Amino acid sequence: MASEKRARTHEEMTKETSGKDYAGERGPPRFSAALDAGWDSLTPAVCDQCRIKKIRCGREKPFCSNCTRLGHRCEWSGNGKKCNQTALLSHTIEGMSRRLESLEAALAETQDTIKRLVSGIPTCIDTFATLQPSHTWPTPEETTSTLHETAVFKRPIGHFLRSHNVEGSERYFNPTSLESLMYDIRDLFLEPLVNSGSESQSVRDCALLAQQKLDDLVSRNEEIIRNGAPPTAPPISILKAMIEPYFATVNPHFPIWTRESFMRIATTLQETSLINQDLGLIVCSNNMILMTLAANLSQPPSHQDKPRHSRSARSGSSINLDLMNGFLANAKRAIEYAELLLSPRLINVQALLSLCVVAQEHMSPSVFARLFGLTAQCAKSIGIHDWERRDLGIEEEEGARERQCLSYCLYILDKVVCSTVGTSPYIPASDVHIDTITKSYDIILGDLAAKARLAEIQETIYLEIYARRAPSRTAEEVRLLLSKLDQKLQDWLVSSGVDSADAADETNLSSPSKIELSIGFACTQLLYMRPFKEHPDVTYRIQEVARRSMKLLLRLWHSSTEPEYQGAFPRIIASHPPLHLFEIFACILGGEGLDADIKLLESFTEMLHNVTDLRAEESHNHRLYEASNAIMVVITAMRNQHKRRKLHHTSSSISSSQVSSIESQRLFPYSPSSDVPPNSNENHTPPRVQDGNQGTTGLAVPTFEPLMSPTNSRGCPEDELATIMGPLGKGPFDSFDLLGYNEGPQIPRGESLVEKEMWWD
């Protein structure tokens, strides 16, 4: 066999050294093919220790079996392998490492530039430090988490309609709308109560009914009259009778017409025949009467401690209620013909704007949003926001003031629709000129300009936080944004003539106009605090702001002595998202509420009932009342359960102390501290107690042994307590045995004991 072995020739050794044995005659493998095969193809076949010792390597990675057995350090550097491939790999990896470092540096610089442009602050050095290349090669997943782990506060999102109606419509609700807040209450608080095993059955039933109620309120549709009949003109006598009350109660708060312009409307409508009457004039007259009647029916109670009056007593007259329902039906018919009011005329803008005010108070938010879209379109067609220009052919000052009031009213309502319904702003701040210098004697225009400036801040909040392109923010960026918005609101308070200390304390305000501005201040704070409620600067502050907002609304309701606020209060409630109500509900349902919060909610729900008692069921305020009432039922059930558990815990602690005292008396009936002398009577006759004055036997003090439970109970503390209670454990009309020791059906010991302890307390 030794003769068969031959030495290798020079050509065979050259061929093996040149690497042709890897691929026949095609030469050594290309480096690009190795890269395509992955990094595993570039690692050496054996470790360095096995190559040095020239032993067979097990090729286990990262530690081969030989190095593990011998305790050596197992390395896979490839030293000693063919020099040409090792040098090629080394140079290639070094080049790729330098390119990766340059790319990471460029990426970090780009991110810093973007942050400076967005937030206007210097870039954080720590962010750039996290992007520096390390000695280890990060995976794509690690790189992604490193770049985005600091952006923790994202844009809030809303909800889609979950239960489709017959028509199969799909609707979206923005995060601050009433529908979205009801979904949040349902998912975050009611759903856990329904599925909780620690709550009582009554609490779970109430939570389930509240869930069904909220779902019904969200999916409730608006009933639109579709009979084809156009709106009819109101009687002239009623129209003239309502002009003075309207300008005394409604117009100072939301001026759509001037007195002179509306007198011209009434005169033109009276002189025109029924066939040729203008639709804009009819809608303006009908809505003016409707708003006046609604203001008269929205009288606050004379005293908050008096019992709630009946519907007929609050309405003042059933005739006014019937008239309001008739004019409301006429307004719904006008909505069907709203597209005929899009011709560019001032009277059409006023007609559509008055329809928006009616829809905001009496109809659903979706109808209100659709009408306002038409109103904004018609207003832009006549250039209503260019009221300060003098080349429009408007020579009289009264006409310019009327257009200025309309411009402010449209801009304010635009932000109301944006926050309560969820549409994007129709009228940007760049299209509106808000005069910062108003005449001191024009109080109505001054208050309206203050509300317009607050609406400008609300638009900034929407674009910075709620818009679809709103960026994600870190905790420090959120803190800077909150500081900037707080400063804007403080400046607005100063320019509006409201003291910041008075705005923070609802008891210091006396003027209804100042209370209304303070309500807007608090609701605007909630608007930009709620998306960041997990931020440490907002967590506890948002609850105080919500309480103050609700207290201000209640104060305005009970102290609105000025006539213009009697009819404006329902629209004030509908103009702000009910974030204050949601925060207090969340605080109580989450177990962090106070008794004062429950009383505040009860007063607020009672106020909503008084405001919405005569309103349609599909209106915003009425649905807000129904949702509040349904959640208050759950809170009441949870409160009753807490009282029962607290009572049971108290009675159990008292019972334990009594049982321990009884047990000690049974085991040691005559302790040294006992005032009764020991008795050696073996027949267990009751001992006589000596009377100090008469020296006769009076009371018989029985021992505890005859009162103990039967022998089969083995001295159970619960049985002993129940036996001692005796007749006191029965109710006034009960004649049942205490624990069922008689021959009748046995009563479970635990349930009977709890019942008797409640009677005992």
Q: How many CB atoms lie within 10 A of CB 395?
A: 8
The pair of structure tokens assigned to 547 is 């309480």
- In the block, residue with structure tokens 């609701």: 523
- In whole angstroms, what is the distance from residue 466 CA to residue 172 CA? 14
- In whole angstroms, what is the distance from residue 749 CA to residue 84 CA? 90
Tell me the one-letter amino acid at 583: E
Q: Which 3 state secondary structure label does DSSP give 473?
A: strand
Rounded (10°) angle between helices 512-529 and 443-461: 10
- In whole angstroms, what is the distance from residue 288 CA to residue 290 CA? 5
Give me the half-sphere count of Cα atoms (radius 13 Å) on the Cβ side of residue 319.
1
Say if CB 210 and CB 634 are below 8 A apart: yes
Supply φ then ψ for residue 104, to 5 degrees: -65, -40
The pair of structure tokens assigned to 321 is 């209620």
Low-confidence ranges of the chain (pLDDT < 70): 1-44, 78-88, 91, 118-151, 162-169, 222-228, 298-317, 389-397, 437-441, 500-510, 560-566, 651-761
Which class would CATH give 10-84? few secondary structures
Rounded (10°) angle between helices 595-612 and 579-589: 140
Helices (H), 20-82: 31-37, 48-53, 65-70
Cα–Cα distances in Å, from 193 out to 50, 218, 595, 644? 66, 20, 20, 18
Say if CB 758 and CB 651 are below 8 A apart: yes
pTM confidence score: 0.66
Element (H, E) at 574: helix 569-574
Cβ burial of 515 (10 Å; 0-12, 13-18, 19+) is buried
Rounded (10°) angle between helices 512-529 and 541-558: 150
Q: Which residues contact 269 (CB under 8 A, 6 or more apart)?
A: 233, 236, 239, 277, 278, 281, 282, 285
Q: How much is the pLDDT for 101?
A: 84
Q: How much is the pLDDT for 371?
A: 93
Element (H, E) at 266: helix 259-271
Q: How far, rounded to the nearest angstrom, does the alpha carbon of residue 460 sit from its chain's CA centroid?
A: 20
Cβ burial of 249 (10 Å; 0-12, 13-18, 19+) is buried
Q: Which residues pair with 199 in a beta bridge?
A: none
Q: How much is the pLDDT for 331?
A: 92
Q: How many Å is the Cα radius of gyration of the chain?
A: 41
Q: How much is the pLDDT for 735?
A: 37
Q: How much is the pLDDT for 566?
A: 65
Q: Which residues contact 638 (CB under 8 A, 6 or more apart)?
A: 199, 203, 589
Tell me the one-letter amino acid at 719: D
Q: What is the four-CA torsion angle of 72, 76, 77, 80, rounded to 10 degrees?
A: 80
DSSP string, 184-228: HHIIIIIHHHHH-SSS-HHHHHHHHHHHHHHHHHHTPPP----S-
Q: How much is the pLDDT for 605?
A: 93
Say if CB 230 and CB 337 are below 8 A apart: yes
Tell me the one-letter amino acid at 400: A
Q: How much is the pLDDT for 631?
A: 94
Tell me the one-letter amino acid at 201: Q
End-to-end CA distance of the chain: 109
- List the one residue out of 606, 536, 584 whose CA is nearest residue 185: 584
Say if CB 146 and CB 203 are below 8 A apart: no
DSSP string, 374-401: HHHHHHHHTTTT-TT-S-SS--SHHHHH
Q: How much is the pLDDT for 439?
A: 59
- List the one residue out of 131, 96, 94 whose CA is nearest residue 111: 131
Say if CB 596 and CB 580 are below 8 A apart: no
Cα–Cα distances in Å, from 203 out to 186, 209, 584, 600, 638? 14, 10, 19, 21, 6
Q: How much is the pLDDT for 170?
A: 74
Q: How much is the pLDDT for 284?
A: 95
Angle subtended at Cα 122 by Cα 119 and Cα 126, rounded to the nearest 5 degrees: 110
pLDDT tens per residue across span 402-421 = 899 999 999 999 999 998 88
Q: Which 3 state secondary structure label does DSSP give 683?
A: coil
